Amino acid sequence: MSAQTVGYILAVAQAILYSTMGVAAKFLYGTGLTPEQVILLRFLGTVVVLGAFLLVWRKQPLFSRRPIVYVQGVFFALCAIFYFLAVDEMTANVATVLFYAYPAMVALLATFVLKERLTARILVSLAVAMAGIVLISGVVDGLMGTTSIEFSPVGVLYGILSCAAFAVYNVIGQKAVGKKDGPMTMTFSMCVVGSIMMVVAFPTYVPTLVEVNALQLGVALFIVVCNTIVPVVMLLEAIKRIGAMKSSLIGISETPFALAFAFAILGETLTVLQGAGAVLVVISILLVTLPSKKSE
């Protein structure tokens, strides 16, 4: 199996894992936890679980010695904080559209910073993917009056900042992976930075974590392992093999998977437009991954 094929598989696999986080988070909200508590449990739990694993495993060091990894961690945390603020200011569907525009930003950054070639196939894939995200988010349904939609200038700013932060995180990942650190060392180091930033951002919620019960801890552990550690490691490995541009485009497949899980597990409704959007996202990924007849 070629390195490129492995990269594609890893990119899709991490998107599938990420897509289950919404279901797990909504379950925790239903048990009484707030979004602030969940995000704190995610980052602090990752530091504890992955730190303990690395100390026992001893195959990769605990902390990275490269400043770029910690810079990447700052943008990883900023993405989560700004997205949280965006959803707080306006409806989640608008925030989703703004956030999932990040592959377009990655494409621009990769072109000008990493000197990657922006091919016609990538441009078409971006356009198809963005159209799919708009349909999946429900924004079109909102404009047609079938669902509620709420815009906020401040919320839009937060959404754009979240999108930009995640795009920079992806591009930095391409510069950082495959050098001296293993992906687990990088993930731990980034999450240490993220944990510090989350504690600073939500200090009043830290003491409330002692009240978390066993069930909540179990679901939080799922988020830590399956929605953070494993997908972050997979994404870093995918970026190493196929680059930030293709990895980010394939990562959009998280949205139709999340839609499917919400429909199957949470019983949420699925509109015709959302189904069409999911098809468009799949088409955009096929445009990126299927080999062309001639080298681009």
pLDDT in tens, 21-62: 888 888 999 999 999 999 999 999 999 999 999 999 989 999
The long-range contacts involving 286-294, CB below 8 angstroms and separated by at least 24 positions, are 287/121, 287/124, 287/125, 287/128, 288/121, 288/122, 288/125, 288/246, 288/249, 288/250, 289/8, 289/246, 289/250, 292/121
Residues 6+ apart with CB under 8 A from 56: none
User: Can you say whether the dihedral through the CA atoms of 71, 72, 75, 80 is positive or negative?
Assistant: negative
Mean pLDDT, to the nearest integer, of 224-250? 93
Q: Residue 241: is it exposed, middle or buried by C-beta count within 10 angstroms (0-12/13-18/19+)? A: buried
Which among 215, 229, 245, 208 has a CA at the least distance from the CA of 111?
Answer: 245
Q: Residue 56: is it exposed, middle or buried by C-beta count within 10 angstroms (0-12/13-18/19+)? A: exposed
Query: Alpha helices, DSSP H only, in the chain?
Result: 3-19, 21-30, 35-57, 67-89, 92-99, 102-112, 120-137, 139-143, 153-176, 183-201, 214-224, 230-251, 254-265, 272-289
What is the per-residue pLDDT for 93? Answer: 65
Q: Which pLDDT band, with edges at 50, 70 and 90, does 135 fall under?
A: confident
- Specify the amino acid at residue 114: L
| Distance set, CA 71 to CA 38, 108, 187, 201 (Å) | 23, 20, 12, 17
Q: Which of 235-239, 244-248, 264-268 has the lowest mean pLDDT?
A: 264-268
Has residue 296 got a pLDDT over 50?
Answer: no
What is the per-residue pLDDT for 114? Answer: 80
Q: Please state at what angle helix 230-251 crosses helix 153-176, rounded to 10 degrees.
A: 110
Q: Are 82 and 158 in contact (CB under 8 A)?
A: yes
Which among 159, 33, 172 has a CA at the least distance from the CA of 92?
Answer: 159
pTM value? 0.86
What is the per-residue pLDDT for 293? Answer: 55
Q: Please state at what angle helix 183-201 crosses helix 230-251, rounded to 10 degrees.
A: 90
Mean pLDDT, to the nearest integer, of 93-102? 80
Q: Are 15 and 250 in contact (CB under 8 A)?
A: yes
Mean pLDDT, to the nearest integer, of 160-181? 88
Q: What is the 3-state secondary structure (H, E, C) of 56-76?
A: HHCCCCCCCCCHHHHHHHHHH
What is the per-residue pLDDT for 272? Answer: 85
What is the per-residue pLDDT for 295? Answer: 46
Has residue 113 got a pLDDT over 90?
Answer: no
Which among 255, 257, 252, 250 has a CA at the least distance from the CA of 288?
Answer: 250
Q: What is the mean pLDDT of the chain?
A: 87
Integer Cα distance of 221 and 30 in angstroms: 17
The domains of the chain are located at 3-289
Q: Are 187 and 236 in contact (CB under 8 A)?
A: yes
